[in-house]
Copies of this chain bind each other. A is one copy, B any other.
């Protein structure tokens, strides 16, 4: 019960954050009409969770059975449509929103997978899939190489946050402390990665003359 409420709250916050951020990111890269912005905001916001729900067998996905999901995603996307070209001081807020969405989703996704009976390992992977899935589908739709493949640390904080949250589950009781600490760990790593431009090691850093 408790964890359901926690997962729900995290999910709705994350959906809003990702909808705004996803729609703004998309609008910066491609000339979009209002349907395009709504579509990409909503895909970013609920795409990762839908992918997770399909993969764990929670069908129809939450986004189609619990109306606030789609509504919050649509509202966030519409806000993005109207602010459209965010003033400079908002850029930082948008990055923080995205980090928040990442942190909330990785924990909510991992706990939902555990709830559906998956083992800890796959649950951690599915936490990360929930967190990065929506943005990845959005990037594929607008012909960008997805952030997780090339960017600063993005999937790693999600994996670590999900792993911490899963590790803190005791006697199979999902609890608030694990969720909060897992999300905070993910958030901390992600913000540090942005601030100090941390990158995961690349093969090419070891290979200079590669044609």
Contacts and interface: CB of A to CB of B under 8 A. Distances in A.
Contact of A150 (B33, B64, B145, B199): B33
Given A84-B203, A150-B33, A64 B122 contact: yes
Interface in A43-82: 50, 54-57, 59-61, 63-65, 67, 70, 81
Contacts of A145: 30, 141-143
Copies of the protein in its oligomer: 3
Contacts of A201: 33-34
Contacts of A156: 35
Given A64-B122, A67-B121, A122-B60, A34 B207 contact: no
16 contacts: A31-B204, A35-B148, A36-B150, A39-B148, A50-B55, A55-B60, A55-B64, A56-B64, A60-B118, A64-B125, A65-B118, A70-B122, A81-B203, A85-B203, A136-B141, A141-B149
